[in-house]
Each structure stands twice: as structure tokens, then as C-alpha cells.
Amino acid sequence: SFANPEAEEDIACMVAFLAQCQRETPQEPIIVKATDSTLESLMNQAEGLVLLDFWAEWCFACLEAGPALETVAPSFDGQLKVFKIEVDENPVLVNRYAPALSFPCFVLMREGKLVDRRYGIDPTQEPKAFFRTWIHQHLKDPPGVPMPEG
């Protein structure tokens, strides 16, 4: 039996302190790699707007758009999930969602349904501005959601 009152008091204080501490719940990543075999499951778990980013290492425009999308996506505060799909490794998804075989290809989905699709990047528009505007116009309730800046 433990009979030291000072130690018991110290232990009680530590237990009370630890009970008040809350570990931050790790946030689910906003941008996730998807494949022919994983996309369906990932989309079933996703809520809100989903953006499929079809890209390739050999595609200069893809390499320019990727970092812009990675910068902009977190600003939508949980309203957007991005799945990056490498085109050379995922022919089934390319055939289904990017049949024109022009890359990058960006596909917006909601509840498993196609909302919009864009091929390539407009060289006259800055990629971050394009993503901000395009995604914002497809949010479910855009009037109540301020357009993210930055």
C-alpha cells in the first residue's frame, strides 16, 4: 500500500493536470496521393469538394501548378480535399477522368459526381489565382464563405 500523503497529493495533481491536457488531434492531410486502387475508397471518405490533380513529372505545366495548388488548398479550411494522381502510374483513372490526355488535368467532384474539369493552365493567369477563383466558385455555399486570400 502506498502511504505517503505528499506523494499521493503530487500524483493527484499530476493526474488532474494530465486530464486537462488535450492532445491535438492530428489533422487529416488535405492533399493525398491516390491510385487506381485507392481513389474510390478515398472519395467515399471525403466530404465536400474533391479536386483530382492529374499530373506527370515530365509535364512542365504540372510542375508549375502543383506547388500553387499545395499553397492554396489549405486556405479552404476543410472544404476541399485534393487527390494527386500520377498519370503514368494510373491509366484507369486517366481513362475515366482525363480522357483528353492533356495535362495537367483538374477535376472537381462532389459526392462522387463530376462538377467541372479543366485541362492545362492559362499562361496569362497566375496559378494560385486560378485555383482560388475556380475552387471558390464551386463551393457548396460560396456566399457565406469568404474567398481565401494569399
Q: Which of 13, 21, 59, 105 is catalytic?
A: 59
| Rg over CA atoms, the chain | 22
13 among known catalytic residues: no
Q: Is 103 exposed, middle or buried (0-12, 13-18, 19+ CB in 10 A)?
A: buried
User: Could you confirm whether 62 is annotated as catalytic?
Assistant: yes
Q: Which residue spans within 14-122 are E strands per DSSP? A: 31-33, 49-55, 80-86, 105-110, 113-119
Residues designated catalytic: 59, 62
